[in-house]
Amino acid sequence: MDLLTIEQVEDQEFEIQVRGHRVASDMGLDDDGHDLGASPTELLVGSLGACIGMYIARYCKAIDCPTEGLALYMTYQLAEKPKRVQSIVIDLELPKGFPEDRKPVIQRLIHMCPVHGTLVEPPEIDIEIE
């Protein structure tokens, strides 16, 4: 697996680096951030959506179905004690002309997404402080 490097830029702004890509993460103005990037929680929810979307796009390609119009609209709610994402709602818009009889496959694909699987079965996290 590739190494991800997360470095503080300023205050609550961090830069995530992997394979030559850079992604900014920051808190919104109402959370004492500068709103220079998506929050870590937004990135988590967005990662789920991107993963699901990629699996669906691959499937569409495999069955020769155009992907035009494929979109996911997502919202989430936070919980306290412990602070975490409590719920995620996904409104999935399949490509125009997506075969009706193939929709059950989409439900199975969603559960195959590694990000979805990680949220369902959390990983062990080992933190070493230097």
CATH code of the domain in which 114 resides: 3.30.300.20
Residues 80 and 47 in one domain: yes
61 domain residue, yes or no: yes
Predicted confidence at residue 102, as pLDDT, reads 95
Q: Which residues are bridge partners to 92 per DSSP?
A: 72
* Beta carbons within 10 angstroms of residue 114's beta carbon: 11
Per-residue pLDDT tens digits for 25-66: 999 999 999 999 999 999 999 999 999 999 999 999 999 999
Range of the domain at 14: 1-38
The count of domains in the chain is 2
Predicted confidence at residue 113, as pLDDT, reads 94
88 domain residue, yes or no: yes
pTM of structure:
0.93
- pLDDT for residue 79 is more than 90: yes
Residues 74 and 100 in one domain: yes
DSSP character for 113? Answer: S
Predicted confidence at residue 94, as pLDDT, reads 97
- pLDDT for residue 1 is more than 90: no
